[in-house]
C-alpha cells in the first residue's frame, strides 16, 4: 500500500504526541533542505538536497493557504524504538541503509558519520534525512549512533527510487568536519 504524506502533517503529529514543537527544518523560500546519505564510487557520504517540486499552496480543507511539500509515495514504513533502559546510545556500527528511504526522527536523535568520507551530520527530534547507500552501492556504508530512547520511522521509497531533488552541496546541509 502506497502512502503519500505531507511533511507538516508528520511534524504536527510529532508535536501532538510529545507536547513540544519540533525543531525548525531548514527551509528555503521554495522547499526544504534535507541531509542525504548517498554513495559514489562505492563510498558513502553526505549531500544536501532540496526536495522538488517544492512547496505548493494547499487547497485542502483544514490547510487551505498553508505551504505543503509532497514527500512522495512510501511503502512498508516501520517505527523503530531504541531502548532507553541503560541510557546508552545505540551504535549501529558500519552498515548500509536497509532501503532507499526517508528517516523521520520522532524523538531523540542521531549522529551520522562516514568511514571513508569527511563530514557527517546530526538530526534531532522532529528532523528528517534520507538514506540511499543500500547494499551494492557502498562498500562500508555509514555509521549511525542513535540516542537512547530515540523513536524513528523508516519509510522506503517504492522500487528504491528516491524522491525528486536537486543536489545543493556535496556535503551535509550543516557540514560537520
Domain of 57 in residue numbering reads as 2-169
The rounded mean pLDDT for the chain is 86
120, 111 Cβ separation under 8 angstroms: yes
Quote the pLDDT of residue 7. 42
Residue 16 has pLDDT above 90, yes or no: no
Once rounded to an integer, what is the mean pLDDT over residues 119-145? Answer: 96
The string of pLDDT tens digits covering residues 78-93 is 999 999 988 999 999 9
What is the rounded CA–CA span in Å between residue 99 and residue 86? Answer: 29
In a domain, 142, yes or no: yes
In a domain, 98, yes or no: yes
In a domain, 175, yes or no: no
Bond prior to 53 in cis (omega within 30° of 0): yes
What is the rounded CA–CA span in Å between residue 7 and residue 165? Answer: 15
Domain of 31: which CATH number?
A: 2.60.120
Residue 72 has pLDDT above 80, yes or no: yes
In a domain, 177, yes or no: no
In a domain, 128, yes or no: yes
Instruction: Report how many domains make up the chain.
Output: 1
69, 7 Cβ separation under 8 angstroms: yes
Cβ count near 173 (within 10 Å): 20
Cβ count near 131 (within 10 Å): 26
134, 98 Cβ separation under 8 angstroms: yes
The string of pLDDT tens digits covering residues 135-159 is 999 999 999 999 999 999 999 999 9
Q: How confident is the model at residue 20 (pLDDT cuts 50, 70, 90)?
A: very low
With a threshold of 0.85, does the pTM exceed it? no
Quote the pLDDT of residue 23. 52
In a domain, 75, yes or no: yes
In a domain, 176, yes or no: no
Quote the pLDDT of residue 22. 46
Amino acid at each position: 500500500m502506497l502512502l503519500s504524506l505531507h511533511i507538516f502533517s508528520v511534524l504536527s503529529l510529532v508535536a501532538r504526541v510529545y507536547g513540544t514543537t519540533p525543531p525548525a527544518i531548514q527551509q528555503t523560500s521554495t522547499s526544504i533542505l534535507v541531509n542525504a546519505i548517498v554513495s559514489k564510487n562505492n563510498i558513502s557520504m553526505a549531500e544536501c538536497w532540496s526536495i522538488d517540486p517544492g512547496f505548493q499552496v494547499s487547497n485542502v480543507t483544514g490547510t487551505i493557504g498553508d505551504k505543503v511539500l509532497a514527500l512522495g509515495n512510501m511503502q512498508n514504513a516501520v517505527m523503530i524504538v531504541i531502548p532507553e533502559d541503560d541510557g546508552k546510545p545505540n551504535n549501529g556500527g558500519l552498515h548500509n541503509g536497509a532501503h532507499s528511504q526517508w528517516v523521520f526522527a520522532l524523538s531523540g536523535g542521531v549522529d551520522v558519520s562516514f568511514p571513508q568520507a569527511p563530514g557527517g551530520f546530526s538530526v534531532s527530534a522532529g528532523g528528517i534525512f534520507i538514506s540511499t547507500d543500500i547494499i551494492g552501492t557502498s562498500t562500508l556504508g555509514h555509521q549511525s549512533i542513535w540516542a537512547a530512547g530515540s523513536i524513528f520511522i523508516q519509510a522506503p521509497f517504492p522500487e528504491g527510487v528516491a524522491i525528486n531533488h536537486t543536489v545543493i552541496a556535496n556535503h551535509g546541509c550543516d557540514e560537520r568536519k
